[in-house]
Structure formats: C-alpha cells, structure tokens
Amino acid sequence: MSADVLTVESVGKAFREYRSQLLRILSWLGVRIRQVSDTWILQDISFQLQEGEAVGIVGQNGAGKSTLLKLITGTLRPTTGNISVKGRIAAILELGMGFNPDLTGRQNVLHTAGLMGFSQADILRVMPQIEEFAEIGDYFDEPVRVYSSGMQMRVAFSVATAFRPEVLIVDEALSVGDAYFQHKSMGRIREYRRLGTTLLIVSHDRSAIQALCDRAILLDKGRKVMDGNPQSVMDYYNAMIAEKENSSIRSKELESGKMQMVSGTGEVVVDSVSIYNQSGERAEFINVGEAVELRIKIVAKTNVPQLVLGYLVKDRLGQDIFGTNTYHTGQILRDVAAGEEYEFSIRFDLRLGPGTYSVSTALVSTDTHLVDNYEWRDLAYVFTVLNADKEYFVGLNWMPPSIQIIKR
Amino acid sequence: MFEMLLATWRYRYFIASSIRNDFRSRFARSRLGAIWMILQPLAQVAIYAVVLSRVLSAKLPGVTSEYAYVIYLLSGMLGWSLFLELVSRSLTIFVDNAGLLKKIVFPKICLPLIVSGSALINNFLLLAATLGVFAMIGHNPGIHALWLCVLIPLTLAFSTGLGLVLGTLNVFIRDVAQVMSVILQLWFWLTPVVYMPSIVPGEFSQILAANPMYWIVSAYQDVLLFQRSPDIEHLAWVGLASLGLLAFALVLFRRSSAEMVDVL
C-alpha cells in the first residue's frame, strides 16, 4: 500500500461578502462583524491521492474545478477543512506566468524557477537540461517578446517540470503547442508518474482522462458527485450533461464489474443489442476482420416526431473507435407512434485489433444527444476481438498490409 | 512572523532576481535606460531652480554659496523621491500582480520587499548623481553627510510601512489608489522641499510639525546643505512612529492575506 501524498479533508470554500469593505477591514482588526453572507463555491470535498496515482477531475464550467486546484496549489485558502501535501506541488496551469517579455529565455528561466522557490545554484545545475528539452535553439538567448506562443510554451513547460514534483497538476493548457512537443511533454509526464509522481489532471477531453487516469472525480455545483474508475465517471458525466427535466440516470453493475449507465427521458428505449458473427450466431468473441451484424431492437413508449439511432464502439479505456448515427446516414425515422418496434441491422467488417470493446447506443431526435436524449446506454454490449488466423500485429486497428521487398 | 521571515529567506533568489530584472527591463528598450530614473527628479530640480530661485534663494539664512537654493532642492528631493516612489509603487503592488498571486504560490511579502529594494537602488543612483552635482558646483557636505546612513533607512521604514498599509487596503477598496494620487501631490506642497519652512505663516506651522515628511526632509537639508546635525528628538519620534506603522502594516497584511486572492 503506497502512502497518501495529498489529503483533502472536508474542504469547503466560501467567498465572504460584507456589507461594506470597511467592515471587512475592521473584522481583521478584531471588531466583530455580523451579517456576513457567504457564497459557497465548494463544499465538503474529501479525497486522498496516493503516490503514483493519476486522477482526473471533471465537471462542467463553474463546478468548482479551478477553485479546487487553487486550493490544492495553495493560492487560495480553504474556508473549512484541511489540505495536506507531502512534498512539492507543481502546476502546469500557469505556463508562462511571470515571464518578462524583455528578458531572454534563459533569464526568464532563472526568474521563474526562483518564483517556484529554487535557488540559483539548483537552477543553473539543470539549465542545460531545460535548454535541451525546450529545443528552441538560439532563441533561448533572445528576448521572450520575439518568441512565438509555441516557443514560450516550450520554455515554460521545461521550467515547470525541470524538477520532479511529488504532485503534478496538469491543466487543459497542455493541449496547446505543436503535436511534436505535446508528445514530448506527455512522455515526460508519464516518466515522472512511473517514478512516483502523483498526477492531477483537469480536462474536458474524455480520451485524455481515460488514457491517463486510473481514477476520476466528478464535481458538480461545488460538490463531489462521483469518485471511481474513469470510464464510469465519464459515462456518468456524459449522461449528466444531457440530463434534463424528467430525465433519469440509472446505472447497474455488469458481471465484469463495470457500471452500465443508462440515461434519458425514456420516450424510446433500447430493447436488446447484440452482435452476430458470419455464421449468424450471437457472439461475444469475434475474429479480427470478421464480417458482423450489430442488431439493435428498440421500442417506442410514446409518440415521437423524429427518431435517430446512434451507436459508438469504444475500446477498453472508453476511447471512441467508431461511431455514427442514422442522421448522418440519412435514415431518420419520422412520426414514430407509441408501441412501435424497430430492428436496426448494421453490417460492417470488424477491422479491430485484439482486445475488449463495448458498444454504446443513443436514441435521439437530431445528430446530437444534447437536444432530446430519449435514451443513452453505455456498455450496451461488450465483446472481445481475438486474432485467430491473421499475422501477428499490435494496435486497435487492423490494416492488413501487403509488403513488397525489392532488392536493389 | 518567524514563518514569514523563513519564507522570505527561501525566496531570496527570487527577490534578488526580481530587483535585477526590474532594472534590466528599464534598460531593455529605452536608450538611456535607468538614467531616466535619475533624470526625472534632476529635471524637476532644474525647473524649480530656474523658476523659483529669484523668489526664494534670499530666504536661506547663513549659507553663502550662490547655488544654495539648488543644493536645498536637491537635498529635499533625495528624501522625497524615495518616499514618493515607495508609496506610489506599493499602493498598487498587489493589484498589479493579481495574475501572479492568483496562479502561483509564493510568499506575498516578497512583492513589497522587491519594491523596497528596487526603490533603494534608484535612490542610491540619485544620491550619486546629487553628489556629482555637488562636486560640480563646489559644495562639500562634509562629515554630516554620514547621517544619510540613518536617514535613508528611516525614510525607507516610514514609506514602506505607509505603502504596505495603503497597498493592502487598495486591494479591497480600489478608491485608495485614486485618492492617494491626489493626496501625494498635496503632501508634496505641505512638505518644505521647494520652499523654506521660514516662509510658512505661524498658524500653519502646526500642520507642518504634524507631517513626518517635514522632519525627514528637513533632516536631509540639515546634513547636506547646512552641514549640521539634524533634529534628533523629532527624528526619534518619526522613527518610533515608523516602527509602529510597519508593525501595524504587517498585522494588517497578515490578517488580510487569506482573503486577498479572493477579491483580486
């Protein structure tokens, strides 16, 4: 059992409002002031992060994510509760903060690292590594005002991660910059994690959370709503975005231990989902490249003017592999009456790599589930792809090659 | 309090490099760079000297030098400019650095320290320039100039204390900065930098006596122009008041510091 690195204990944050600022000042000087109104941004948040864990924080805008991060980094102080950290916290959310445009990259590195509390000697020792990691060549000794925003990002990231912190907070900021440097910085983040750094990731990007995190925390209206494996949390989050009046979110545990999430208003529901193999049998294990049929039966509970079925194949991490809907294929059903049943037969070649996959279904009225969400069902069907007769390969996609070797 | 000292010590490199950068960025894009920091008060002295010397130089008793009024102006300006720079920069220090304070964790007390350090260096440059002008016009302030070793820290303490109180209040009540810019102008004319206290009518001398800057500026003039010891008794009172002000500033700063980032 590894040790807790970060402990957040029933933390709450309120912004105090006084009838006048003068009263606020008097209150520091020991005068008792009544009638203070508090606006609570966060309430009763508790969780622990362990060494080497990667945890994602998700939530809609205004859910309190950035306030929570500010509390953890320490720029804001909690109104109630405690936050304790073992070791140093670094945050890649203030990239380029405190850079002076008139100074060179090198001078700014010295200055920024000083702002992080390092000594001149420490910084000079790692300066070559910082310069090498940023890869901006001679620009390193030019004033920052001539930098492109990408170059500034590179220098900023290199300083922020020059020393391995115990807790690293990664914000959406990471998605800026060029693809090459994004890969390079992700590489460093992964390496630090392997060495025991705890990651705290804030993002709206489902795939980033699912690819990196082994746990996710969902915040809504300043409270912790869910804390669990990233796939269930993201599914719940997805359902929550679509949640409307008289809509419900239900979840049930599948045999595999995963949580199936069903949400929506329920005008139309999925009756059954299955995949049939080449020989027409219902299959859970399917060979690479096999021609299959995905059969989805639905039942209308009330009349709906327009009906679209969407499906989405995801890998075991919950990353999208392929998805489309009958809006895009031009097969919208009109004036569906209560009690009507339909069967959708979707045929395709299963050109996927070996592994476990799931199918999600959506019954909606347009091309997105954000307008009318009749039903959204995650993990509606789970199947496994096996490589029975193809040459060995790795990856999610099967792209059978023809390789020609010509001796010259 | 001990924590604050320790944090400051850990961030000493940051404070030093901030002061250095403050300086560097002034050189970065203007040709004369930091020279402007000295030229400004010197130009002001030159203007007052040209405009007012006829009217006021006769009022300087016991000084024979024909440049007496210029020396008087320079001495007073040396003290006043340190006060002015410290107070006006501390006033907006937290508001100006709102972005930094919101995103990065570092001891907030570093910011006023950086301002003090940077103002002190500017003041030393001005002192050097002043002594240069003295040498040019053949004025030797003599051994009494050593009093500056006391006067400069005293001015620093008073101005930093006042600046920190106002800077903290300005975070919560933004009108403070606006009001102060007017008050500082008025304050300049309530302090005998340009004129001599002897021309002030009797009923106003009470107001003058209540102004700590009066005692500080007079002391600068005493040691640099009149070559005599300053009024030690009054300076001691000003010193005591400065320490009180500094202590009050630190208390106010500490109490407010939890809520400061909330409202920035």
CB of A98 less than 8 A from some CB of B: yes
Q: Rounded to the nearest 10 degrees, what angle do helices A149-160 and A179-194 cross at?
A: 10
Q: What is the DSSP string of A214-263?
A: SEEEEEETTEEEEEE-HHHHHHHHHHHHH--TT-EEEEEE-TTSPEEEEE
Residue A258 lies in a domain: yes
Closest to A378 measured CA to CA, from A204, A213, A230: A230
| Spatial separation of the C-alpha atoms in residues A5 and B188, rounded to whole Å | 55
Tell me the average pLDDT across B231-256.
89
Q: Which two tokens stand for residue B73?
A: 């102006």
- pLDDT computed for residue A102 by the predictor: 81
Q: Which of A178-187, A284-293, B91-100 has the lowest mean pLDDT?
A: A178-187
How many residues belong to chain A? 408
A135 phi, psi to nearest 5 deg? 50, 55
Residue A309 lies in a domain: yes
- pLDDT computed for residue A348 by the predictor: 92
Q: Which two tokens stand for residue B150?
A: 């006391």
More confident residue, B3 or A135: A135
DSSP B129: H
DSSP A319: -
Which of B9, B27, B105 to mutate to probe the A interface, most A CBs <10 Å? B105
Residue B174 corresponds to which amino acid? R
Q: Cβ contacts (< 8 Å) between B103 and chain A: which residues?
A: 75, 91, 93-94, 97
pLDDT tops 60 at residue B218: yes
| Spatial separation of the C-alpha atoms in residues A260 and A278, rounded to whole Å | 28
- Residue A344 CB contacts under 8 Å (≥ 6 apart), including other chains: A294, A295, A296, A297, A298, A309, A326
CB atoms within 10 A of CB B142: 11
Q: What is the DSSP string of B141-202?
A: -GGGGGGHHHHHHHHHHHHHHHHHHHHHHHHH-THHHHHHHHHHHHHHHTSTTSS-GGGS-G
What is the C-alpha radius of gyration for chain A, rounded to an integer number of angstroms?
A: 26
- Residue A85 CB contacts under 8 Å (≥ 6 apart), including other chains: A5, A6, A7, A72, A166, A167
Of A103, A107, A117, the CB nearest to B106: A117
CB B68 within 8 A of CB B138: no
- pLDDT computed for residue B162 by the predictor: 93
Does B101 sit within 8 Å of A75, measured CB to CB?
A: yes
Of A22, A100, A115, the CB nearest to B104: A115
pLDDT tops 90 at residue B182: yes
More confident residue, A238 or B86: B86
pLDDT tops 90 at residue A220: no
CB atoms within 10 A of CB A315: 19
Tell me the average pLDDT across A125-132.
87
Give the CATH number of the domain where residue A276 resides.
2.70.50.60
CB A47 within 8 A of CB A81: no
Residue A349 lies in a domain: yes
**Residue A368's domain spans which residues?**
252-386
Element (H, E) at B238: helix B232-263
Q: How confident is the model at residue B82 (pLDDT cuts 50, 70, 90)?
A: very high
- pLDDT computed for residue A248 by the predictor: 63
pLDDT tops 90 at residue A91: no
Of A22, A29, A97, the CB nearest to B104: A97
CB of A215 less than 8 A from some CB of B: no
Does B104 sit within 8 Å of A119, measured CB to CB?
A: no
pLDDT tops 50 at residue A142: yes
CB of A22 less than 8 A from some CB of B: yes
Residue A302 lies in a domain: yes
How do strand A320-325 and strand A215-220 relate by DSSP bridges? unpaired
User: For the segment A156-202, what is each residue's pLDDT rounded down to a tens digit?
Assistant: 888 888 888 888 888 765 655 677 777 788 788 888 888 888 888 88
Q: How confident is the model at residue B11 (pLDDT cuts 50, 70, 90)?
A: confident
pLDDT tops 60 at residue A387: yes
- pLDDT computed for residue A145 by the predictor: 84
pLDDT tops 80 at residue A62: no
Residue A339 lies in a domain: yes
Which of B10, B104, B261, B263 to mutate to probe the A interface, most A CBs <10 Å? B104
User: For the segment A36-50, what is each residue's pLDDT rounded down to a tens digit?
Assistant: 677 888 888 888 888
Q: Which of A159-163, B22-26, B178-182 has the lowest mean pLDDT?
A: B22-26
pLDDT tops 90 at residue A153: no
> Which value, to the nearest 10 degrees, does the dihedral of the CA atoms of residues A276, A277, A282, A285 take?
-120
Please report, rounded to a whole number, the percentage of residues in chain B having pLDDT higher than 70: 92
Q: Cβ contacts (< 8 Å) between A117 and chain B: which residues?
A: 10-11, 14, 106
Closest to A92 measured CA to CA, from A172, A203, A147: A172
Tell me the average pLDDT across B18-35.
73
Interface of B with A (CB under 8 A): 10-11, 13-14, 17-18, 21, 24-25, 28-29, 99-106, 169, 172-173, 252, 255-256, 258-259, 261-262
Residue A183 lies in a domain: no
- pLDDT computed for residue B164 by the predictor: 92
Could you tell me what percentage of chain A is helix, strand and coil, using 3-state DSSP and rounding each to the nearest 5? 25, 40, 35
Tokens 């302030």 map to which residue?
Answer: B141
- pLDDT computed for residue B155 by the predictor: 93
pLDDT tops 80 at residue B121: yes
pLDDT tops 90 at residue B242: yes
Q: Is B33 left (phi over 0), alpha (psi -120 to 50) or beta?
A: left
What is the C-alpha radius of gyration for chain B, rounded to an integer number of angstroms?
A: 19
CB of A244 less than 8 A from some CB of B: no
- pLDDT computed for residue A255 by the predictor: 60
Tell me the average pLDDT across B231-241.
89
Which of B114, B262, B263 to mutate to probe the A interface, most A CBs <10 Å? B262
More confident residue, B63 or A354: A354
How do strand A304-314 and strand A320-325 relate by DSSP bridges? antiparallel
Residue A267 lies in a domain: yes
Does B17 sit within 8 Å of A93, measured CB to CB?
A: no
Closest to B144 measured CA to CA, from B205, B219, B212, B229: B229
Q: What are the C-alpha distances in Å from A198 to residues A4, A8, A49, A56, A91?
A: 10, 14, 7, 11, 12
Which of B9, B14, B175 to mutate to probe the A interface, most A CBs <10 Å? B14
| Spatial separation of the C-alpha atoms in residues B118 and B25, rounded to whole Å | 12
Residue A171 lies in a domain: no
- pLDDT computed for residue A278 by the predictor: 84
Q: Cβ contacts (< 8 Å) between A115 and chain B: which residues?
A: 14, 100, 104, 106
Tokens 């010197």 map to which residue?
Answer: B42
Q: Is A295 left (phi over 0), alpha (psi -120 to 50) or beta?
A: beta
Q: Which two tokens stand for residue A103?
A: 């100074």
- pLDDT computed for residue A1 by the predictor: 44
Residue A311 corresponds to which amino acid? Y
| Spatial separation of the C-alpha atoms in residues A360 and A235, rounded to whole Å | 10
Element (H, E) at A271: strand A268-276
Q: How confident is the model at residue A254 (pLDDT cuts 50, 70, 90)?
A: low
To the nearest whole Å, the CA of A100 is away from the closest chain B CA by: 8
The gap from C-alpha A44 to its chain's centroid, in whole angstroms, comes to 23
User: For the segment A273-284, what is each residue's pLDDT rounded down to a tens digit?
Assistant: 999 988 888 888
| Spatial separation of the C-alpha atoms in residues B111 and B94, rounded to whole Å | 8
CB B246 within 8 A of CB B161: yes
To the nearest whole Å, the CA of B31 is away from the closest chain A CA by: 14
Q: Please name the residue of chain B whose CA is at the shortest distance from the CA of residue A77.
A: B258
Q: What domain count does chain A have? A: 1
Pure H helices in A51-148: 65-73, 105-115, 120-134
Exposed/middle/buried for B66, CB within 10 Å: 0-12, 13-18, 19+? exposed
Tell me the average pLDDT across A327-355.
90
